Structure 1
Amino acid sequence: MSIGSLSLALLIVGGTIAFGVVGVECGRRIVKGKVVEGHNDVLVPLFLTAGVIYAVLLGFMVVAVWETYSDAHDNAAQEAAVLVPLYRQTSDMADDKRVEMRHLLRDYAETIVSDEWPRLAGTGQASPRAQYLIGQIYKEFGTLAPATKIKEIIDAEFLRTLSSELVFRNKRLLQASEGLSWVMWLGAIGGAVITIGMTFVLFMENKWPQLLCVGTMSALIGMLLYILAILSHPFSGPLAIDPAAFEASLATFQIIDHET
């Protein structure tokens, strides 16, 4: 875990614990001496109702961001995997076209690993050079002049594969630039404040069990909020998706070159 990720974890988890503990202390000072019989009997059902509603909301959000993260991981793997058949399909091109096309594909994959991936982790933006190379690949494909029907079929298949690559790429860039919407964060943070805040007006004669229970619940909520924060950005943070799939494709390129 990096320093930044550790700081974020301490900020979120520690902040929720501090909010709960300090709130209980303040709440006890306010309600002490004013508690009448049946005080907790009225508040506990309200607290349980709010807690269940928030638990359902938070659980739904965690599952949703995990599915988004998993989808981003699968999409990046598919994008890298498509490069391999694309590279192989150049075998039937004329020698000069094959060399140029393979050079562009290799350069493109290397640019994704060395330039675009760090950009995704930082700003979530695409690499201008990778965008340029995609354009050059399409431009180079446009110069092909198939002499036979079989060549036309092969080139058409190459174009379909290249189009699939572009679809996966665009989806990856979209996933990198998007995060959890502010509305969802409002529900997650607002629900945490309300749920923890309702414990402030509960009263126990011995404050230490109350502080322990509220602190534990606050820590659990804080951990789930931290999980939301790191999973909502799949290409940055401690669980960031790495470019290993593209590195594997580059290694396969070398094997294909030796074969031909």
Structure 2
Amino acid sequence: MSEWLALALAMAGACLVVVVVVLVRHRKSDRDEDTSETPDVIEYITMMIGVVYAIVLGLAIAGVWESRSAAQDDVQAEAQSLHEVSARAEVFPADYRGVVEKDVDNYVSFVVNTEWHYMRTHGEISPEGTELLAKLRTDVAERAPQNDIEAQAYQAMMDKIAVADETRTSRGGNVGPTMPGVVWFGLVIGAVVTIGMLFALQIGRSRRELILAGTFSALIGFLLFLIWDFDDPFGRGVSVTTDPFLNLFPFLGS
């Protein structure tokens, strides 16, 4: 089942539950119950619960979006650093340049074609990818620069490899859900309480009221799904992509 189909079913289920509860409640309610007015204190409490929950939802969405954006920036920095290593190797002799470029190509090919899937299934970066990056560092470091131009390029290459290693480590730290379980507990309980307060307002069974109640519950369901989808930057529908590698290393797309 696709994530979008699951979202549609969840939203439809939320609407259906609210509508059914309203209809059943009115069918079984006491005929002498006065539903024409709602006490002011209930309206005030309902308003405050809605405001507080809206703030919590906003902070949660901002948090997971920031985590996803940071993960995408790390991927961009990693790809750019490796591209710079290949570019700066141009000042070296052909044999050494060929070794460096081969190491870079092997690493980025592994990341795009193998490690991305490995991260989604295992929840961590691959040890083989770490070994490939270590091999690149070793091959770059083993040749001492022969002149000033090579010395400048050599230092820049080592710096860029360090950046790639750092961003790779950060990428590994962003694999898997980033939202603490206690936050999810609060979000779910808050959704139940917020939707439940609809019944404290003595909602009626008219078509307009049922549509509004169903739409409101579906909106809460969509926002929770949005947080859940962004919570895993590499493993779900709206995930971090390999586009930075594909853009800087065109051979990966062939």
Same fold, TM-score > 0.5, yes or no: yes
- Separation in 1, partners of 2:238, 2:145: 46
CA shift at 1:107, angstroms?
0.5
Could you list the runs of 5+ residues in structure 2 that have no partner in the other structure? none
Is 2:226 the partner of 1:227? yes
Is 2:111 the partner of 1:112? yes
Is 2:163 the partner of 1:164? yes
CA shift at 1:38, angstroms?
5.1
CA shift at 1:150, angstroms?
4.4
> How much is the aligned-residue C-alpha RMSD, in angstroms?
2.4
Contact 2:79 2:245 in 1 (8 A): yes
Give the partner amino acid of 1:219.
A
Which of 5, 10, 32 is the aligned partner of 2:30?
A: 32
Is 2:51 the partner of 1:52? yes
Partner of 1:70: 69
CA shift at 1:141, angstroms?
2.5
Give the partner amino acid of 1:17.
C
Q: Secondary structure at the match of 1:240?
A: coil
Change (3 A) 1:81 1:205: closer
Contact 1:77 1:245 in 2 (8 A): yes
- Separation in 2, partners of 1:131, 1:8: 36
CA deviations over 1:123-182 (Å, ceiling 9, x no partner): 332133211101111221232122345433332221111101111111122112342211
CA shift at 1:98, angstroms?
1.7
* Identity between Structure 1 and Structure 2 (%): 25
Contact 1:108 1:134 in 2 (8 A): yes
CA shift at 1:81, angstroms?
1.6
- Separation in 1, partners of 2:3, 2:38: 42
CA deviations over 1:104-132 (Å, ceiling 9, x no partner): 10010111110011223333321332111
Change (3 A) 1:55 1:68: same
CA shift at 1:202, angstroms?
2.8
CA shift at 1:13, angstroms?
2.0
Question: Given the two structures, how large is their TM-score scaled by the length of structure 2?
Answer: 0.87
Contact 2:64 2:231 in 1 (8 A): yes
Give the partner amino acid of 2:235.
S
Give the partner amino acid of 1:21.
V
Is 2:16 the partner of 1:14? no
Is 2:172 the partner of 1:173? yes
Change (3 A) 1:202 1:28: farther
Change (3 A) 1:79 1:89: same
Partner of 2:100: 101
Could you list the runs of 5+ residues in structure 1 that have no partner in the other structure? 254-260
CA deviations over 1:46-104 (Å, ceiling 9, x no partner): 11111111111111211222222222222212221222111111123343222111111
Contact 2:22 2:204 in 1 (8 A): no
CA shift at 1:252, angstroms?
7.8
